[in-house]
Amino acid sequence: MGGHNQVRLLTVSFRAVPPELLRSALRVLLSQGSVTQKPFVQHIRDRFADAPPELVAPEVLFPTINQASPECKRYMAMTRCVFSCKLAEESLKYLIHFVDALRLAGAQWQTGSELEADLEKFGGDIVQAVQALKESRPEPTEALEGQLFKLWTSLDECRQYCQGLEPQSPAFPFARSARQVKDVFGLLFPNSDHLSSLSHSSGTPISVDLSKQGSIETFTLGPHQVPRLFNGLWQLSSPAWGSGTAEKQEAALANLVECGLIAADMADHYANAELIYGEFRNRLAPEVQKQVYAATKWCVFSPINQPVTHEFVLAAVKERCRRLGGRVELLQFHWYDYEAKEYLEILAELVKITKSHPVLVSAIGLCNFDSEHTKEVCEYLLEKQGSVGIVSNQIQFSLFDSRPLQQMSAVCQHYGLKLLTYGSFCGGFLSAKWLGQPVPEIYAEKDQLTPSQRKYFDMIRNWGTWSEFQTLLETLSSITQKYDVSLTNVATRWVLQQPAVGAVIVGTRLGVSLHGDENLKVFGFALDDDDLQRINDVALGKDREKSLSIYQTLGDCGNEYRAMH
């Protein structure tokens, strides 16, 4: 009875909670992982199964020029909810209806309008929905083939509709979507009669002026010389960071290459990042193409349930090359469970493929391996092949997460590996924007934190108090005046000057915001011993006790991705 009363009291209490606070509390619950997410997801799936959402009439969705109606915004949110609840196949009819409705309602929009921004978001939603479909590994049925082809046809008809609008044709907002649909169609139905009719124009050649490149620090990674800043494309994995059109994304990439930031990091599960980067690279002039560097990943999140053979590993490499439309300069490997030892055989085979198929892949690295198993891999390869063979490990490394200084840096130095670090900006928390600011309410609508900021806010809390965080920002800010750079530049420079670090991966919101010129300032100065001591005293602790505490709390690098601690 006591438990029943408690539930009843909580239910009554929730009715009195302000809507914004209730949304915040719900987001906190959902952020705790699968245990709390599962009942919410299942409840929504059941409701959709009992009463599928209705399709809204085109003229209701798009009643006016340049604006989406409130009903349209609700429809977009509902569609996002459907595929987010693992109903990707069921979401296809809602995607098709929305795209068709634009044409059937005679919708019109101008550059910079509210409707254009909403259509860009929906284009990102189509990408995510189709990516969710791919990752769900559906049975390739005739019905699914028909739905995917219908979605492609709707997108193609919308493209033609955009071209015919007068007086000025707006940009087709779903170019990214069409690219993703064609890719997944080919993956699920490689022998379909429809495949030949899924034409996709790769667009005109992209011109970049490499004479604009400034002074950039580089390092050797496998057979290549690369910048010490990589463009990180993980933010393409979710529309929470914003969505840009294909044209805006291409312009952003061209700007980065012109700045000299020619290396990009992506992954097999970062939505259509590989497709975007591959098409961009292949539209560059040949002399520029060969300078542009692609690092991607093969991430294994569950048992492979088959023997490790040359054919199995080579097929995984070829899939990355197919999506990139060319060679992978660095293929980084992530493995879900160290107790399942197949990863050793896979890595040995990957290293062999760099030698037997250099046209496919140049070098092999690790992703989120801890110190013990990085060492294990290196020793295994030395014993089996006479050389280490791998060149890098990608891990989190920042002023808040200095775990690599405990063991990882020394292991990498010993075996000749370079660290590629992410999270070094802490989602933007390491910037002047947060100096003197109060603690944010991470799930409140008013603060509008990105998924990265919510993640790294937890990292800050593991590291210390908000007051200590402000002390660190003040310390970094005082150093900025010495070199006339930004606070973020100082935080990045600190990581670049740590042992074994090759490059910092900078999250890039393609087509949404651009900070290439500002980030390049990190190469114009170096922190001296006094700077490093002042920063270390605050970030690591006087006797490095903060660094040790984080290590003891979270375990070694990458431990949080395996839930082993």
**Domain total for the chain?**
2
Judge whether residue 34 has pLDDT over 70: no
Given this model, what pLDDT does residue 174 score?
Answer: 93
Q: Which residues contact 142 (CB under 8 A, 6 or more apart)?
A: none
DSSP string, 497-525: TSTTEEEEEEE--TTT---HHHHHGGGG-
Contact in structure between 408 and 374 (CB atoms under 8 Å): yes
Q: For the chain, count helices (H), then strands (E).
A: 22, 10
CA dihedral 344, 349, 352, 354 (to 10 degrees): -100
Phi and psi for 170 in degrees, rounded to 5?
-75, 160
> Looking at the domain assignment, is residue 23 inside a domain?
no
37 within some domain? no
* Residue 258: inside a domain: yes
Looking at the fold, whether 179 and 298 belong to one and the same domain comes out as no
Q: What per-residue confidence (pLDDT) applies to 397? A: 97
* Lowest mean pLDDT segment, chosen from 70-74, 202-206, 218-222: 202-206
User: In CATH, what number is assigned to the domain containing residue 312?
Assistant: 3.20.20.100
182/233 same-domain check? no
Average pLDDT, the chain: 89
Picking from 172, 190, 208, the residue at the C-terminal end of a domain is 190
- Exposure letters 254-271 (e unless 16+ CB within 10 A, then b): bebbbbbbbbbbbbbbbb
Q: Which residue has the tokens 């370079």?
A: 418
User: Is the pLDDT at 3 greater than 60, yes or no?
Assistant: no
Tens of pLDDT along 487-519? 999 999 999 999 999 999 998 877 555 666 889
> pLDDT by residue (tens digit) across 225-244?
999 999 999 877 666 555 66
Residues 229 and 87 in one domain: no
Hey, is 365 helix, strand or coil? strand
Report residue 446's pLDDT band, with 50, 70 and 90 as the boundaries: low
Q: Do 240 and 321 belong together in one domain?
A: yes
Query: For 75-115, what is each residue's pLDDT tens digit?
Result: 999 999 999 888 999 999 999 999 999 999 999 998 889 99
Domain end call among 140, 168, 190: 190
Distance CA 62, CA 68 (A): 6
Identity (one letter) of the amino acid at 327?
R
CA distances from 50 to 43, 47, 53 (A): 11, 5, 10
- Cβ pair 278, 325 in contact under 8 A: yes
DSSP-assigned beta bridge partners for residue 293: 263
d(CA 283, CA 207): 8
Rounded Cα distance between 537 and 402, Å, is 13
Q: Which residue has the tokens 């808040």?
A: 400
Task: Give residue 562's pLDDT band: very low, low, confident or very high (50, 70, 90).
Answer: confident
Whether residue 215 is contained in a domain is answered as: no
Q: Rounded to 5 degrees, what angle do the CA atoms 365, 492, 515 make?
A: 95
In a domain, 404, yes or no: yes
- Sign of the CA dihedral with 247 first, then 250, 252, and 254 last: negative
- 285 and 155 in a single domain? The answer is no
Q: How far is CA 205 from the centre of its chain?
A: 26
Whether the link from the prior residue into 223 is cis, omega within 30° of 0, is: no
Q: Are residues 117 and 161 in the same domain?
A: yes
Q: Is 435 inside a domain boundary?
A: no
Q: How far apart are CA 245 and CA 169, in angstroms?
A: 15
User: Measuring CA to CA, how many Å separate 507 from each of 15, 259, 307, 364, 427?
Assistant: 40, 16, 36, 22, 8
Mean pLDDT throughout 303-315?
Answer: 96
Give residue 251's domain range.
224-428+489-523+556-561
**Which residue among 173, 190, 207 closes a domain?**
190
Do 363 and 259 fall within a single domain? yes
* 185 and 332 fall within a common domain: no
Which one is predicted more confidently, 209 or 142? Answer: 142
Same domain, 268 and 409: yes
365 with 494, same domain? yes
Residue 197 lies in a domain: no
Are 152 and 243 within one domain? no
pLDDT tens-digit map of 136-194: 889 999 999 999 999 999 999 999 999 888 767 678 899 889 999 999 988 899 899 88
C-alpha to C-alpha distance for 198 and 131, rounded to whole angstroms: 18
- How buried is residue 204: exposed, middle or buried, by Cβ count under 10 Å (0-12/13-18/19+)? exposed
Determine contact, residues 475/535, Cβ cutoff 8 Å.
yes
Same domain for 238 and 301: yes
CA angle 454, 426, 219 (to 5 degrees): 145
Location of structure tokens 């409707």: 115
251 contacts: CB under 8 Å, gap ≥ 6: 511
User: Which letter does DSSP use for residue 434 in this model?
Assistant: G
